Structure 1
């Protein structure tokens, strides 16, 4: 595994949902190939919501020097991430809010990162998941 690898953070309003999607993405990516991935789910008090502290800690924990792709579930999580990015010093350098469907995008991001994709490739693969058809 390269020292510089894209990390992935999944932000959900529910800690259980974030953790479950992490496990599903890792499983569908053949164990995740050692991709650093973390859940940042729920509010700091354990309830529903989003927490800047949990997101910042998750991003720091997966930072391996090649960027951090952050996928979020719902609108206020987007606002929380945009606020963190605007502050500029709460997240690792190279952290990106990725516009992608939460579940499918997470799987695509982890698969691409496990194949050695850079942050641009991880972001593109996750965003491409918007086009996945189910019929």
Structure 2
């Protein structure tokens, strides 16, 4: 990791409460984590859905120059982030949509970013959550 730079994490959910709760859980399970983490849940008026404005603000707030990993909960959140990435000017340079389970992936991403992992390592740690078996 470059001096002073760290990967930021944005957690996007259709529910503001879910996004905040997953962020809190991930930070706590990361031992308090040092990675910048922000949630972007729901719509600006407090409803269910996703908001490009909230996502852009969250991404800007965690951008420390090493990239921003964006994890999402459901399909239309994926579409919102992909649309923002296609626009090219709404997200910080180095923002990346991470294909990972929302809760388990968030924990892996925050832990890895907190110990200085680069964006590729953060993405890999989040994606590894697909292999977690619960049986």
Q: Aligned partners of 2:65 and 2:73: how far apart in 1?
A: 25
Pairing 1:1-135 to 2, within 5 Å after superposition: 2-32=3-33, 34-135=34-135
- What count of residue pairs does the alignment treat as equivalent? 134
Runs of 4+ in 1 over 4 A off after TM superposition: none
TM-score, scaled relative to structure 2: 0.97
Q: What is the TM-score with the length of structure 1 in the denominator?
A: 0.97
DSSP-derived class of the 2:69 partner:
strand
Residue 45 of structure 1: CA displacement?
Answer: 1.2
Give a deviation string over 1:87-127, Cα, whole Å, max 9, x none.
00000000000000000000000000011100000000100
How far the C-alpha of 1:3 sits from its partner, in A, is 1.5
- Quote the Cα distance in structure 2 between the aligned partners of 1:107 and 1:125: 9
**Unaligned stretches of 5+ in structure 2?**
none
1:69 aligns to what SS in structure 2?
A: strand
Q: Give, in angstroms, the shift of residue 82 of structure 1.
A: 0.2
Say what the alpha-carbon RMSD is for the aligned residues: 1.0
- Residue 134 of structure 2 aligns to a residue whose secondary structure is coil
